[in-house]
Structures are given as C-alpha cells and as structure tokens.
Amino acid sequence: MGELKLLKIEKDGTVQGVPGEGIVDEVLSQAAQMYKNTGYQEPWLGYLAMLDGSCVGSCAFKSAPEDGRVEIACFTFPEFEGRGVATQMTQRLVDLALQEDRDLTIAAQTPPEVGAPTKVLEKHGFELVGLVGHEQDGEVWEWVLKRSYH
C-alpha cells in the first residue's frame, strides 16, 4: 500500500482535481455544510484521503479546537475497508493536531459497540472515557487520546 495523501476540502465543498461523483459528492456536500455550521479554519478542516490515485475515504476535524479540545472523525469508503485506510487517516489527523498544539485533547466518538472504529482508536492510544449523548446519533462512546501518547 502506498502513502496516504490528504487533500483539503475547500470552503465551497470542492477538492482541486477530484470530481465530486457518487459518495465523494456526498462527502464534499457534508463538508461544505459543516463549514457553514462550524466555520472554515485551517487546518481544522475536512479532507479526502487519496491512496494510489483512488479516493479511499474522508476524515475531518469536526471543528476548530474549543477549550483545548478537538474531535476527529474518519470514514473509509466501503470498497476500501480492511486495508488500513482508517488507521492512516487517524494518524494523519493526530499528527496535524499535535503539530498545531501539543497540549490539545484529541477526542473521537464511535457507536457504542466494539468494531473496526474502536480497534483503530485503541491502536493509536485512545482510551474509552464513557457513554455520551450525541445530537444526531443518540448515545455514543467518547474516546480521548492518552496523554502519554505524545
């Protein structure tokens, strides 16, 4: 597997050189809506993940940091699941966040069940801190990167 590249999704929901078709179009539209709700501030953006010339997923900071905390999210496109894409996206977001502020608390949320997302977070040193209510998803598990990680 080659090196994963993250392409920033622009304020208008486009990515230079990437056509918005199918699931990519949906991701770009969601990113543009996220920016309307949370603002557009680099590097706290959404990104398309490219691997060997293919768009394999998307990842994002849900907003710029607030009160020393930032939340990340990753989505691997179904045909690329099980290939380490989410692992690479998570690492890239963690690296970006820590380059900006080594003291940030980096958080993520998953469905309240063990699965691929929880395994990826555990691999990167996140620990489960509990069940929290989410506006759209109901109850979810909250994860935080262990401080000893960085």
Task: Quote the pTM value.
Answer: 0.91
Output phi, psi for 77, to 5 deg: -65, 140
pLDDT at 81 > cutoff 90: yes
- Which DSSP state fits 10? P
CATH number for the segment(s) 5-149: 3.40.630.30
Of 45-54, 68-77, 139-148, the range with the lowest mean pLDDT is 139-148
Residue ranges of domains in the chain: 5-149
Q: Which single residue is written with the structure tokens 């979810």? A: 140
Greater pLDDT, 18 or 145:
145
Segments of the chain assigned E as strands: 5-8, 46-51, 54-61, 69-76, 105-110, 126-134, 138-145
Confidence of residue 31 (pLDDT cuts 50, 70, 90): very high
